[in-house]
Amino acid sequence: MSSSLLNNYLQSKSPSEYKPETLAYLASLEVIGKDNPQIVESILSELKDQRSSLKMIASENYCSLAVQLTLGNLLTDKYAEGYPQHRFYAGCDNIDTIESLAIEKAKKLFGAHHAYVQPHSGADANLVAFWTILTKRFEDKFFDQFDKKTVMDFDDAQWEEYRQAVGNQKLMGLSLDCGGHLTHGFRQNLSAKMFKYCAYGVNPETQLIDYDEVRKIAKREKPLILLGGYSAYPRKINFKIFREIADEVGAVLMVDMAHFAGLVAGKVFTGDFDPVAHAQIVTSTTHKTLRGPRGGIILTDEEFATTVDRGCPMALGGPLSNAMAAKAVAFEEASTDSYKEYAQKVVDNARVLGEALIKEGIKITTNGTDNHLIVADITSFGITGRQGEGALREAGVTLNRNSIPFDPNGAWYTSGLRLGTPALTSRGFGEDEMKTIASVIKKVLSCTAPKTTKSGKPSKATFSYDESIVAAARAEVDEMLSVKPLYPELDF
């Protein structure tokens, strides 16, 4: 398949018309396809799927072909445990160069004191950040108390006392149903087993984070870590106030900016809303709004800088050198003026989409957005988020179901949908398309209904819809997609 694609391409153009991106892409598929035709089929089929649907999953994006190509090479073969100039393996000179470049670019991009670019994902970044805080705060304390220089010198009783202290700390984060992330203390995640969890939520009326309430809970609970950040909260957060609260109760302010790192890099979130200016430790993914390779990073102040560098082997295995190189490429891309314009457009598109949904009669939480995402409450359509997600996928709109605050349908079925604009904006979509998308969503949700279960109750999972309405919606979606092709550099 790939072989014929490459040959067809070579034969259909004159050499002066060849696009290097297309040649690179097709040549790599040819190499892979020699022994793995099914893998090539799946890559091509994923490309087709992404080209032929509206990607509105708020946590996804389209990274550049330069980022993709940087991921696929021999850097993946190298072990480089440790950090630049401090490795547990020989022969790491080139990896030192790559990791140092990624670190410097991340520091410059975010104005951070220190950057750690090894985490394999956002969840790993949070794990390393948690252990960095626990290690730094408790090792220092117990080193003083026991007059020891390393934990290796603790006797068994001292080790047990240290372990008990470390394992008895509180983490305070945004609750899952109000937009927090699984790694912020959800019971199915390790974070809830490592820490005693205490949550703050949103105001039931406004659905906004209430800073006075956060302060009240923090004063009562006295957490070791006050965690800001979210997966499904449509508003910016005032991190200056969060830092004041953390300082008042002696907590470390950690911010997980996985979702909105691109808006920080693109200077949309500045001043009080810039987490790097206020938090002691900031974690992020690199693949959401930031538009880099799948992975994570951690930014720290001076206190945590040397401890975070021990992330491998503290909590991580060997770094993915190819991913660190791709992160460096993405940080470079994110430091341009065109990226700043992109970040602003992401937010503008979300605002217009939110307003258009409201005009269509669709409720959205907090009645608006000031970031890249919207949470729609679809209770009034008489269907669950799961059913809405399924019906919209039939019309070529890919988004995911999401809890609304205090959701009666729980986290599996949900009553909401989360919509994001980062990927569509990368594809070149603008405000007019946002209005059309809102009307498409309204049409599809309005013609969808739950099926009835054997017990005569409405199902929360299965659904039916008016096929002609969904087909017409699909045609509108196809029309929009055809005007803004994905990866125009790939002309096959």
> Can you give the binding site for ligand PLP, defined by CB under 6 A?
59, 121-123, 126, 181, 183, 229, 231, 256, 258-259, 285, 296
Q: Is the separation of the CB atoms in 350 and 420 below 8 Å?
A: yes
Residue 285 Cβ vs ligand PLP, minimum distance, rounded to whole Å: 5
- 259 vs 351 by CB, closer to ligand PLP: 259
The sign of the CA dihedral 79, 81, 87, 89 is negative
> Which residue among the candidates 51, 196, 215, 294 is catalytic per the annotation?
294
Q: Please confirm, yes or no, whether 288 is among the known catalytic residues.
A: yes
- 283 vs 307 by CB, closer to ligand PLP: 283
Helices and strands (H and E) in the chain: how many: 21, 17
Residue 243 Cβ vs ligand PLP, minimum distance, rounded to whole Å: 19
Q: Please confirm, yes or no, whether 453 is among the known catalytic residues.
A: no
Closest C-alpha to 265, from 58, 430, 111: 111
Closest C-alpha to 134, from 283, 276, 311: 311
Residue by residue, what is the 3-state secondary structure of 2-37?
HHHHHHHHHHHCCHHHCCHHHHHHHHHHHHHHCCCH
> Which residue among the candidates 285, 307, 366, 369 is catalytic per the annotation?
285
Q: Please confirm, yes or no, whether 294 is among the known catalytic residues.
A: yes
Residue 417 Cβ vs ligand PLP, minimum distance, rounded to whole Å: 16
Length of the chain in residues, anyone? 492
Beta pairing partners, 115: 299
**Residue, CB closest to ligand PLP:** 122
> Which residue among the candidates 30, 41, 81, 348 is catalytic per the annotation?
81
Residue 173 Cβ vs ligand PLP, minimum distance, rounded to whole Å: 10
Q: Please confirm, yes or no, whether 79 is among the known catalytic residues.
A: yes
- 33 vs 119 by CB, closer to ligand PLP: 119
Q: Please confirm, yes or no, whether 200 is among the known catalytic residues.
A: no
- 296 vs 416 by CB, closer to ligand PLP: 296
Both tokens of 135, joined, read: 């290690």
- 60 vs 333 by CB, closer to ligand PLP: 60
Residue 122 Cβ vs ligand PLP, minimum distance, rounded to whole Å: 2
Closest C-alpha to 86, from 125, 116, 128: 116
Q: Please confirm, yes or no, whether 193 is among the known catalytic residues.
A: no
Contacts of 481 (CB under 8 A, 6+ apart): 51, 52, 53, 54, 396
In whole angstroms, what is the distance from residue 257 CA to residue 263 CA?
A: 9
Which residues are catalytic, by number?
79, 81, 256, 285, 288, 294
